Amino acid sequence: MVDVLFLPKRIDEKDACVVVVDVLRATSTIVTALANGARAVIPVRTVAQAKRMKKQDVLICGERQGIKPQHFDLGNSPQEYLNVADKEIVLTTTNGTKAISMVNSRRVYAAAFLNLTVISDLMRSCEKITIVCSGQDNAVALEDVLCAGALVYQSGLKKLTDAAQIALRLWKQAKRKDLSKLLAISQHGRELKKYGFSGDIEFCAQIDKYKVIPVLTKDGFVVEK
């Protein structure tokens, strides 16, 4: 059975596969960092937590309301993570890392359009799947629901909750359209454009740019072998 949560909530499902989606931009950033050689991406909830973890070969990164906090090494633009080989990333964001912190399951993955097919293929090995859309400021985010629908579509799985069917229908209506334009008209996309991050929208709209499967371990998100 596949379920989709349009907004994050506390999940305590030890045997479920949980897939967290924050297209603009946390999970896109996690995927990009790991694809470019980062050792791990450690999600934390607060800026203060991130600052306490700063040390050699550890980059503290993220955003609040789209902007890099003072004294951080990198923001939350995935395009900033192309040269992070052998670095450990501590990441805190407004929505994505908050959603991740609410999940308690043995199998937690980060998904975006950037790694769509490898995650949808993986879903077929799970009996129960919950796709968590991170949303934006406690509101539903178009781009996350589109990605959830794309994951359901690509997986080919048929046992779906009503929420998963809604996401799937949305993706079927959208899949032949220009994805970057769809992301750009979302509320979050419009805000990113206002902050000067239009390039991130186009970057995050790339389907299957990477083949990495980020899995959450005690050391943070690492590439599943």
Q: Is residue 8 situated within a structural domain?
A: yes
pLDDT for res 44: 98
Spatial separation of the C-alpha atoms in residues 206 and 180, rounded to whole Å: 8
Which band of pLDDT confidence, cut at 50, 70 and 90, is reported for residue 57? Answer: confident
Q: Is residue 219 situated within a structural domain?
A: no
User: What's the total number of domains in the chain?
Assistant: 1
Determine the structural domain holding residue 107 and report its residue range. 2-214
pLDDT for res 88: 98
Mean pLDDT, residues 204-211:
98
pLDDT for res 222: 98
Which band of pLDDT confidence, cut at 50, 70 and 90, is reported for residue 94? Answer: very high
Mean pLDDT, residues 184-190:
97
Q: Is residue 184 situated within a structural domain?
A: yes
Work out the percent of the chain whose per-residue pLDDT is above 70. 100
Q: Is residue 220 situated within a structural domain?
A: no
Q: Is residue 49 situated within a structural domain?
A: yes
Which band of pLDDT confidence, cut at 50, 70 and 90, is reported for residue 15? Answer: confident
Q: Is residue 222 situated within a structural domain?
A: no
- Is residue 182 predicted with pLDDT exceeding 90? yes
Q: Is residue 11 situated within a structural domain?
A: yes
CATH of the domain at 57: 3.90.1560.10
pLDDT for res 23: 98
Which band of pLDDT confidence, cut at 50, 70 and 90, is reported for residue 87? Answer: very high
Question: pLDDT digit string (tens) for 119-176?
Answer: 999 999 999 999 999 999 999 999 999 999 999 999 999 999 999 999 999 999 999 9
Q: Is residue 202 situated within a structural domain?
A: yes
Please give the C-alpha separations between residue 145 and each of 132, 151, 203, in angstroms, as whole numbers: 9, 10, 18
- Is residue 212 predicted with pLDDT exceeding 90? yes
Which band of pLDDT confidence, cut at 50, 70 and 90, is reported for residue 62? Answer: very high
